């Protein structure tokens, strides 16, 4: 129809004009494995239309293809998709994405073909090792080689992080200091110094940006980088690690793969000072063997639910079809379906804006004792303040959430004129919110605190608009 293949018309053309025979060899092993015969769905092909060639596994449903292919025969469609696959691989001179060919049968993907034919992405995830603790050990040589924890050593203190020397004892982030001390009696507590961590964070981000503009920081010490344009992402990762070590005297671990999920998992795989690459050809086997709790995007609660469904590894998860996962996990089911196949379409977003930061805790025993609640609130607040700093978050609305023993939930909020800029301010507002709640004789089972509503306008922006007006 005279349009480029980005919108699908080229494909229509190639079908009628130079239809290729099904090649005996295809350039990518994955293609054969993922060349899926659709079944189910409105216009599922009748059995006689199926092609059951060598290497084609007619077992997985990818739904209907009626929109894109109209009334063409199954055989034609295969020829067509193979032709397409070969031409794309030729044209792009690159391995085509995992699952791609299978996906070509699916109507809505067919429509968004331009995205699907992008070269294989190369994503790096970098994460500093025992970040706050390493900074403290760098600062004070007497702490090096010793088990240290960053945080307060009080009855209400919580460990922000522990040095690698402390980890064999079980000391880790978010552990109450009292427990940490019990696990490791010689543990040395060091107070956090956020200004220093922020400065180091800036240093490493500057290094990242020398390699790509596509940097998405996740917190002070970790970021995703899209280095698709580079020949070898692994070499870039190695270089970045070396630069970080030279410029900051600290070590980082890097994960390299074809998407965010896998890169993030990979960076954790050889910590500390690790570098681990999951190459496209290894993705499938890697994911199949991976316990679901290690998937980035599947939290502890979801993993637990999956265990109850007898889903323990990627391979188990792969047995479930998309509709069943969506039925059980809601919208997230779509993502889980992709994860099981090593697919994660999330882009590296350099300007992603975090909307809120929060934490909550459920009590072992429901309570209406205000002193106790106030103490629980203090612990939650400390965690929230910690996260605000870790994510350099700014927000001016504080939301208190309470869940009662009848499972009803209420929220109370207060908005300030400026962003919460201290733990004291957060303490004042949250206590005030709690004091204003009438429990109506019920007991509380959960308390949560969230800070959101980032102030948008800055003085500079106003100034800019003013300049334009004058012009
Ligand atoms: P992480 O990268 O999760 O931990 P880490 O860098 O200390 O150790 P690892 O080698 O396993 O990556 O978090 C980065 C920093 O964020 C960490 O040094 C301290 C802070 N942090 C908290 O304050 N509370 C937390 O619960 C977590 C997880 C981190
Ligand atoms: Mg880290």
pLDDT of residue 73 exceeding 50: no
Instruction: State residue 82's pLDDT score.
Output: 57
Tell which phi-psi region holds residue 151, choosing left (phi > 0), alpha (psi between -120 and 50) or beta: left
Exposed, middle or buried, 339 (CB in 10 Å: 0-12/13-18/19+)?
Answer: buried
Q: How far is the CA of 161 from the centre of ligand 1 (A)?
A: 5
pLDDT of residue 79 exceeding 80: no
d(Cα 287, Cα 296) in Å, to the nearest integer? Answer: 12
Q: Which tokens is 435 given?
A: 């004091």
- Give the H or E element holding residue 137: helix 131-139
Q: How far is the CA of 254 from the centre of ligand 1 (A)?
A: 15
pLDDT digits (tens, 9 = 90+) for 440-466: 999 999 999 999 999 875 444 443 333
Confidence of residue 190 (pLDDT cuts 50, 70, 90): very high
pLDDT of residue 99 exceeding 90: no
Q: How far is the CA of 44 from the centre of ligand 1 (A)?
A: 49
Pocket test of ligand 1: the residue of 149, 152, 161 to mutate, having most ligand atoms within 8 Å of its CB, is 161
Instruction: State residue 84's pLDDT score.
Output: 53
pLDDT digits (tens, 9 = 90+) for 409-419: 999 999 999 99
Q: How far is CA 203 from the centre of its chain?
A: 23
Pocket test of ligand 1: the residue of 158, 173, 275 to mutate, having most ligand atoms within 8 Å of its CB, is 173
pTM: 0.71
- Could you please report the per-residue DSSP string of 305-367? HHHHTT--BHHHHHTS-HHHHHHHHTTHHHHHHHHTTT---PPP-TT----EEEEEEEEEEEE
Confidence of residue 258 (pLDDT cuts 50, 70, 90): very high
Dmax over CA atoms of the chain, in Å, equals 79
Instruction: State residue 447's pLDDT score.
Output: 96
Pocket test of ligand 1: the residue of 147, 160, 171, 194 to mutate, having most ligand atoms within 8 Å of its CB, is 160
pLDDT digits (tens, 9 = 90+) for 296-341: 889 889 999 999 999 999 999 999 999 999 999 999 999 999 999 9
- Residues with C-beta less than 6 Å from any ligand 1 atom: 127-132, 160-161, 173-174, 219, 221-222, 271-272, 386, 390
Answer whether 150's CB lies under 8 Å from 386's CB: no
Closest C-alpha to ligand 1, atom 4: 130
Tell me which residues are annotated as active site.
Answer: 222
390 Cα nearest atom in ligand 1: 16
**Averaged pLDDT of the chain:** 78
Instruction: State residue 113's pLDDT score.
Output: 29
d(Cα 185, Cα 153) in Å, to the nearest integer? Answer: 12
User: Tokens 């005030």 identify what position?
Assistant: 432
Answer whether 145's CB lies under 8 Å from 104's CB: no
Exposed, middle or buried, 367 (CB in 10 Å: 0-12/13-18/19+)?
Answer: middle
Query: What would the mean pLDDT of 210-221 be, rounded to a whole number?
Result: 96
164 Cα nearest atom in ligand 1: 10
Of 386 and 59, more confident: 386
How do 356-367 and 188-190 pair as beta strands?
unpaired
Instruction: State residue 470's pLDDT score.
Output: 34
pLDDT digits (tens, 9 = 90+) for 46-66: 332 333 333 332 323 222 222
Q: How far is the CA of 380 from the centre of ligand 1 (A)?
A: 17
Beta strands in 220-287 (DSSP E): 222-226, 252-257, 275-277
**What are the φ and ψ backbone dihedral angles of 355, each rounded to 5 degrees?**
-90, -30
């Amino acid at each position: 129809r005279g349009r480029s293949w980005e919108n699908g018309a080229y494909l229509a053309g190639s079908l009628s004009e130079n239809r290729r025979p099904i090649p005996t060899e295809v350039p990518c092993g994955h293609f054969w494995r993922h060349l899926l015969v659709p079944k189910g769905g409105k216009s599922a092909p009748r059995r006689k239309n199926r092609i059951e060639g060598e290497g084609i596994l007619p077992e997985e449903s990818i739904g209907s293809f009626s929109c894109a292919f109209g009334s063409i025969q199954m055989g034609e469609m295969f020829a067509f998709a193979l032709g397409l696959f070969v031409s794309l691989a030729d044209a792009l001179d690159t391995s085509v994405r995992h699952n791609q060919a299978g996906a070509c049968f699916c109507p809505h993907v067919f429509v968004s073909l331009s995205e699907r034919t992008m070269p294989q992405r190369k994503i790096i995830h970098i994460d500093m090792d025992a970040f706050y603790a390493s900074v403290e050990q760098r600062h004070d040589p007497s702490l090096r080689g010793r088990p240290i924890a960053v945080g307060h050593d009080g009855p209400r203190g919580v460990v922000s992080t522990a040095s690698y020397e402390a980890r064999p004892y079980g000391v880790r982030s978010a552990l109450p200091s009292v427990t940490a001390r019990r696990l490791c009696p010689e543990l040395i507590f060091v107070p956090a110094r956020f200004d220093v961590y922020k400065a180091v964070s800036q240093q490493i981000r500057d290094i990242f940006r020398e390699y790509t503009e596509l940097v998405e920081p996740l917190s002070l010490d970790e970021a995703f980088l899209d280095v698709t344009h580079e020949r070898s992402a692994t070499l870039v990762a190695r270089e970045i690690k070396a630069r970080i070590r030279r410029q900051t005297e600290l070590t980082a671990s890097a994960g390299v793969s074809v998407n965010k999920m896998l890169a993030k998992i990979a960076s954790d795989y050889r910590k500390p000072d690790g570098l681990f690459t999951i190459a496209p050809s290894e993705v499938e086997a890697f994911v199949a063997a991976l316990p679901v709790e290690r998937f980035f995007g599947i939290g502890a609660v979801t993993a637990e639910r999956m265990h109850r469904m007898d889903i323990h590894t990627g391979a188990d998860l792969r047995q479930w079809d998309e509709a069943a996962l969506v039925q059980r996990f809601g919208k997230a089911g779509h993502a889980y379906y992709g994860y099981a196949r090593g697919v994660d379409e999330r882009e590296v977003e350099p300007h992603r804006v975090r909307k809120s930061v929060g934490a909550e805790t459920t009590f072992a025993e429901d309570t209406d004792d205000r002193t106790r609640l106030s103490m629980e609130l203090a612990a939650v607040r400390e965690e929230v303040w910690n996260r605000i700093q870790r994510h350099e978050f700014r927000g001016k609305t504080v939301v208190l959430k309470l869940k009662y023993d009848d499972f009803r939930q209420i929220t109370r909020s207060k908005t300030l004129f400026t962003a919460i800029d201290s733990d004291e301010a957060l303490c004042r507002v949250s206590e005030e919110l709690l004091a204003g709640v009438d429990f109506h004789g019920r007991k509380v089972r959960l308390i949560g605190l969230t800070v959101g509503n980032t102030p948008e306008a800055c003085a500079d922006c106003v100034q800019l608009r003013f300049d334009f007006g004058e012009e």
